[in-house]
């Protein structure tokens, strides 16, 4: 399965600032997903990042707040903009390789604390 390098692993940020999270995959993947996980909660999909086109955002998430880049088939970034304490969470990227029998692989996550 694909191996994902996600950076940073954690950060503490001041409110009003922005943080960019990077995900690098060791193989080419068509679909990349960005999830948010509040402590002790389930995973909520933020957006689907497709190479060569704009990301598709889920209800409740907007591009101005969570801009996403997908310059090629192995890399994506998620920016959390104008942060507030409510943005404190774990952010995970996920990929699925070609083939319907493959599961989704997750990055190790970015633990964000906004103070």
Please state the length of the chain: 115
Whole-angstrom Cα distance, residue 97 to residue 2?
Answer: 7
- Smaller CB distance to other proteins: residue 14 or 101? 101
Residues in contact with other proteins by CB under 8 A are 1, 30-31, 33, 41-45, 48, 92, 94, 96, 98, 100-109
Tell me, rounded to whole angstroms, the distance of Cα 13 from its chain centroid: 17
- Smaller CB distance to other proteins: residue 3 or 84? 3
48 token code pair = 């689907």
> Minimal distance in Å, beta carbon 27 to other proteins?
15
Decide the pairing of beta strands 19-25 and 75-80.
antiparallel
> Minimal distance in Å, beta carbon 4 to other proteins?
9
């Amino acid at each position: 399965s694909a191996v994902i390098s996600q950076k940073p692993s954690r950060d503490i940020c001041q409110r009003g600032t922005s943080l960019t999270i990077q995900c690098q995959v060791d193989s080419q993947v068509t679909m990349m997903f960005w999830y948010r996980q509040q402590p002790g909660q389930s995973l909520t999909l933020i957006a689907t990042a497709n190479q060569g086109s704009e990301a598709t955002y889920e209800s409740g998430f907007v591009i101005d707040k969570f801009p996403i880049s997908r310059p090629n088939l192995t890399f994506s970034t998620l920016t959390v903009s104008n942060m507030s304490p409510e943005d404190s969470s774990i952010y995970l990227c996920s990929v699925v390789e070609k083939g319907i029998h493959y599961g989704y692989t997750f990055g190790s996550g970015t633990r964000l604390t906004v103070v």
